[in-house]
């Protein structure tokens, strides 16, 4: 799989994909895909991320996890306030300088359950939206990517791979199976304990994207930091290209609020 791919696409999420119990304070599921050219990731980006870990913890075993970073939990409790501020500056600087692009999709779950009688799984929908956009991202190139998702359990992985498999072999209303196969090699799952840096970058991107969908990201530094990374039109407009909000009622509300 890896040998056939020119790019690696790391998938990570923010929020709970369940539609049965929806958190009123955070009713969003967002999936972020960070796209790295394979050789650049392996030879340059990965060592740079490791170097940041070595600088502050002395080893690469640290896993950057958005919620722990925001709440100063886990390994981040070990940083004194000044060291934490210095780390945040270094991390934002690193993210700014790394060469990758983002394609993300988010579902406002309350809108989704209100607008559809039989709403689909937010995880399945966001994966489909991202795969569609990957086709256009790679359309005029000979490049193909490998999707790398974080493992969430045998059943969850199986269910998600079935959605992937169906798109790759049957297509959907927008793209044929051949078009999906033109840009995507396969999909694999890696446990969090493997400490894959690409997943950690995606994790740091997913939370600000989710916040944007529930209109809590105005002047939010992490979101401002990532805006320039979205896959976009030549004019810079990334709405609908690198960032899709769903359903339509959510989309319209975001536009009315000055997205």
Q: What mean pLDDT is reported for the chain?
A: 92
Domain 2-256's class? alpha beta
Specify the residue for token string 């009315």.
256
pLDDT at residue 79, rounded to an integer: 83
pLDDT at residue 256, rounded to an integer: 62
Tokens coding 86: 């210095």
Question: Residue 235 — pLDDT band, cuts 50, 70, 90?
Answer: confident
pLDDT at residue 255, rounded to an integer: 65
Q: What is the pTM of this model?
A: 0.94
CA of residue 242 relative to chain centroid, distance: 11
Domain limits, the chain: 2-256
Report d(CA 171, CA 256) in Å as an integer.
33
Report d(CA 124, CA 74) in Å as an integer.
30
Tokens coding 76: 């981040």
Per residue in 135-172, pLDDT tens? 999 999 999 999 999 998 899 999 999 999 999 999 99
Average pLDDT over residues 249-258: 68
Q: Which of 98, 96, 58, 90 is nearest to 75 (CA)?
A: 58
pLDDT at residue 84, rounded to an integer: 87
Asked, as a colleague might, if the bond just before 134 is cis with ω within 30 of 0, I would say: no
- Counting every residue written for the chain, the total comes to 259
């Amino acid at each position: 799989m890896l040998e056939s791919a020119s790019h690696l696409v790391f998938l990570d999420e923010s929020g709970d994909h369940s539609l049965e119990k929806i958190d009123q304070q955070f009713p969003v599921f967002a999936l972020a895909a960070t796209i790295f050219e394979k050789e650049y990731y392996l030879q340059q980006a990965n060592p740079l991320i490791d170097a940041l870990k070595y600088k502050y913890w002395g080893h690469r075993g640290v896993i950057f996890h958005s919620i722990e970073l925001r709440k100063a939990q886990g390994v981040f409790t070990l940083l004194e306030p000044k060291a934490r501020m210095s780390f945040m500056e270094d991390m934002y600087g690193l993210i700014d300088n790394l060469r990758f692009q983002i394609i993300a999709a988010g579902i406002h779950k309350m809108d989704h359950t209100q607008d559809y009688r039989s709403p689909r799984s937010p995880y399945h929908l966001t994966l489909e939206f991202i795969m569609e956009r990957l086709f256009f991202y790679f359309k005029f190139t000979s490049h193909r990517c490998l999707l790398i998702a974080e493992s969430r359990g045998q059943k969850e992985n199986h269910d998600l791979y079935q959605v992937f498999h169906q798109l790759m072999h049957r297509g959907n209303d927008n793209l044929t199976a051949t078009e999906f196969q033109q840009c995507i090699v396969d999909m694999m799952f890696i446990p969090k304990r493997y400490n894959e840096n690409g997943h950690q970058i995606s994790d740091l991107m997913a939370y600000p994207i989710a916040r944007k969908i529930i209109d809590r990201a105005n002047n939010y530094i992490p979101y401002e930091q990532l805006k320039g990374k979205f896959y976009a039109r030549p004019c810079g407009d990334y709405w609908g290209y690198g960032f899709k909000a769903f359903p339509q009622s959510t989309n319209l509300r975001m536009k009315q609020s000055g997205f």
